[in-house]
Structure formats: structure tokens, C-alpha cells
Structure 1
Amino acid sequence: MNGSTLHRTATACAEELPGARLEHPFGPGWEVFKVRGKVFLLMTEVPGQPVVILKADPGEARALRQENSYITPGYHMNKKHWITLEGGEGVDSRLVRELVTESYRLVVAGLPRAEQPVDPHTFGLGTGAAR
């Protein structure tokens, strides 16, 4: 998957998530998706190529980085809780959708229960959209 397809796939997935909103708080070079004011996805070409930056469980993030050369620590984010996904061989729409949905679920789980647009413990699990 090339970089522009990576961004299109991540955007399409994020736009389908309940309560997700696209914002540009860091200027035109950054697209930031939030749920209830909390960031779950960032996209930019600032590091020299299109990347998608996502929240991830620390153990899962470590495993993903070890298994995939196109997944690195979060660009300009907490390296333990965020990953950066680049386009490349082995990156397909299923992986992108899984990672975007999982990032969304992790952020929603941190919201007060009354603000959660979905149940983060079950959302997306029956559809194969998340791990």
C-alpha cells in the first residue's frame, strides 16, 4: 500500500466511527481525528513520507514494532503508547482498519462512561474490524 492509499484508507475508517471528528489543530500539514475531544489518529507527511500515528496498547505496540518494519514508535508522541504506520509491502486495508479501530477503542475506553459513544469492550469485535 502506498502512502496516499494509506491515508485514504485510514480516513475512510475513521469517518465511520461513532463520534469521530476531523480537526486541524496543528495546521494544514496534520489531519487529526478525535472522539469527544481526545486524539486517536494523526496523519501527516511531515517526516518525509505519509504516515498514520495511532494509539496502541503498550504490549501490542511492542509486538507490532518487532514484527513489522513499517511500524515504528509514535512520531512526536509517547513512544510506549503510540505507533507510526508507514505505507509499504505488507500494509493492507485490513491492517489499517484494525489499527485505526483499536486506537479508537482505546481512547473511548479512557473516556467517562457517560461520554463513550460505544462500548469499547465490544465495539468492532464481532465484525473483524479489530483484534
Structure 2
Amino acid sequence: MSPDRTTARALARAALAADARMSGFAMLPAWTGTVMAEQLPVIGVVTPQERVDPQTLDCFQCALRLQVVAKRLGGDDLEDLLDLDAAAIEASVTAAMLGQGLRCLPEEIVTTLNGEGEQKIGTVLVTFGLLYLRRLPQG
């Protein structure tokens, strides 16, 4: 299978919706900026970057960056909850992609905690690298 960005996002969203832990998060179609505390927990899938390396005149090796962002409320155990979220995201997305014959592996996990307001809000960003070959589109 040679995916495009839309297919990669759809596969990741379906995997997260099927995961027991992550299915309780509201899926945002795109990260729109500010998310209100009453909307949490939320999750989004984006593909912010794709590097293209020509192999021949009509074949390219592509390195797609796929990111899953999860945001939730929490208490003193917020960082532990985000670690569990990250593990569930890694497992579900990686298994779904590999199940479709796609090499998609986690590359980075970034956790951010914000306790400045009345509530503690945490965000985990899991970045995956998806490598594949594609042909030059015929126009």
C-alpha cells in the first residue's frame, strides 16, 4: 500500500477510535487552536510535514511525519495518565499501520503540563515517521 496524507490520517483516527483507552477522547478533525477545558479529553491527528526524495524521474521515497495530539484534564497523576495515553497511541497507531503493510514507527513523545489556571491540563504529542515509495502523479 502506498498511502497519501489523507489515508494515513484516516488509518490513525480509526485505530485510535477502536482503542479502549483512546475511544473516550473526542476526535477533532484538525487542531483548531484553543480547546476549552469542558471539551477535554480531545485528540487530533495531523500530517504537518512530508519530505520527498526523488529516486528516479517518476518515483519518490517519502518520509511523512504523522502526529497525534491528546489533551486531558488531570490531578496529581496527570503525567502518569499522559504516559498511559502515549503508550496507547503508540501501540494502536503502529499496529494499524503495520497491519496495512506500512512502516510507521514512533519517533518522539513530548509531554506538556499546564497548571497555571484552576485546572491542570496536560498534552502529549506523539510523532511517527512513515516511510513509503510513491509514483509521480499523472496529470
**Which category describes the TM-score, using the shorter chain as reference length?**
0.3 to 0.5
Which structure would you say has the larger Rg? 2
- TM-score if structure 2 supplies the norm length? 0.33
Higher strand share: 2
- TM-score if structure 1 supplies the norm length? 0.34
